[in-house]
Every structure is written in structure tokens, then in C-alpha cells.
Structure 1
Amino acid sequence: MSCLNPSTNMSLEGVDASGILSEATSTVINLSGKPKSYSKLSMGSMTMAFGGCEQPATYGELVSIAYLNPGVNKKLSVAVAEILSSKLFVLKSQFFLKFFDLEVTYRTLTSIYFLYHYSSIAGTNVFKLNLRR
């Protein structure tokens, strides 16, 4: 699973956000080798100062499970910066991408058993989730 969340200080009104998301999705899945169904992208606009000034800038986070490494990170950073600079006209020097590589804790979902139960404590219904291996 990979999640790319770029934010910009520019208005997205009149911007082909769908095109940006589509191109960025293709880039992430091509470089990660994971299926499209395992990717999530969202893009937003917010107040942001980059380097102490408010000229057009973009900040993004890429969270993934077990495929990031320095080589892939560099390729992703260059590719995503190219997409955002060409579509949003943000200088590449005004772009920052933060990477989070999550460890794989459970190899298969069959090794995890969820036990849900509903109990009543002091007249109040409480929903509990127990995680067992």
C-alpha cells in the first residue's frame, strides 16, 4: 500500500487535479511495482510558507509498506516534482517530499484473527476489539 499526499499553497481552482492525481498514481505504481488498487492519492491546498516566503510551493508525504529505499525515493522525488512543477508551475526548489516506510508486521492477513464482541458495562454498551495472533 502506498499513500501520496501532496499539498500546495496555490489555489486548485481551475487546475486539472484529476490529471495530476492520475499521472502521479501511474508514477507511484510504476516505481513501486504494486497494483493500482494498493495506492491512495489525495491533494489539497493550504496556507504554506516555504523558505520564509509564500511563493508557490508544494509539500508532500509518501507513506508505503516495504518498498521504499534511497534509490526508489530519489526516483519518486524527481518524478513527482516533475509532475507538480509542470502542472502547478511550482519550482522544483520549492518542493519537499517526505518518505515514510512502514515495516511489515504481519505477512498475511490469515495470521491475524479479529475477535469483536459487544459487552455491557454498567448499563453502557462498549465495543471492544481484541487482536490475537
Structure 2
Amino acid sequence: MPCLYITTNVNMDGVNTDPFYSEVTEAVASIIGRPQNLVMVVLKGSIEIVFGGNKEAAAYAEIVSMGGITKQVKRQLISTVGSILHTHFSIHPTRFIFKVFDITSLPLPSKL
């Protein structure tokens, strides 16, 4: 189950986020190859973020998935989610940091 967690300094008061959730959920499911009903999206707005020394619109996101993450998938996720954030919240892609994490790539725990 992929979980996309986004924090941004964009004020979300009064913003209809439903179109964003629909588009980003569909994109993540399609890119990673998971059903939409298994994709979780968390969006936190109005968070204090200073990026590059200023408070212009910016975002930090991370996605955690159990498998499905390759170099190509990672590139596509960064590009697509960045584009969706720009379209819906005017966050320029150069003001967006995205951490992609596949938990299946973790080392197996020791059997001690």
C-alpha cells in the first residue's frame, strides 16, 4: 500500500482539494502499479516552510511503498507529483522536494 505524505506552506483554507486527491491518487496507483483503493494520500497545508531563504510556495513530500519502486518509477513519480502540485497549488517544481522510499529494499532483520 503506497502512502504519499505531502506538507506545504500553501494555505489550504477554503481550497477544494478533492480534484487534487483524485488526480494524485490515480497517478500514484498507475505509476506504481497498485489499485487506487490501496493508495493513501495525506496533505498538510499551511505549514511553515522556508526554502531557499524565502517563504514562497514550496512542498516536501515522501512516498513509502512496499515494492514497485524502480529508478524509472521514481523519476516518473517525482515528475508527475511535481506537475500536479504545480497545477493545483502553484508550487513550482524547483520548490518541491520528494523522498521516495521502498520498504522492501530494507535489509532483513538480524536473527540474533
Query: Could you state the TM-score of these two structures normalised by the residue count of structure 2?
Result: 0.88
Secondary structure in structure 1 of the residue aligned to 2:64 = strand
Which residue does 1:27 correspond to in 2?
Answer: 27
Aligned 8 A contact 1:15 1:88 in 2: no
Counterpart-to-counterpart distance in 1, 2:4 and 2:35: 15
Secondary structure in structure 2 of the residue aligned to 1:63 = strand
- After superposition, residues 1-133 of structure 1 pair within 5 angstroms as 1-45=1-45, 46-103=47-104
Q: Which runs of 5+ in 1 are unaligned?
A: 106-133
- 1:14 deviates by 2.5
Q: Paired residues, what number? A: 105
Give the aligned residue type for 2:48: T
Secondary structure in structure 2 of the residue aligned to 1:66 = coil
Counterpart-to-counterpart distance in 2, 1:59 and 1:89: 14
Give the aligned residue type for 2:40: K
Structure with bigger gyration radius = 1
Q: Which runs of 5+ in 2 are unaligned?
A: 107-112
| Fraction of identical pairs, as percent | 29
The runs of at least 4 aligned residues of structure 1 exceeding 6 Å deviation read: none
RMSD over aligned CA atoms reads 1.4
- 1:18 deviates by 1.4
Q: Which has the higher strand share?
A: 1
Give the aligned residue type for 2:4: L
Q: Which has the higher helix share?
A: 2
Q: Which has the higher contact order (CA 8 A, sep 6+)?
A: 2
Counterpart-to-counterpart distance in 1, 2:33 and 2:67: 11
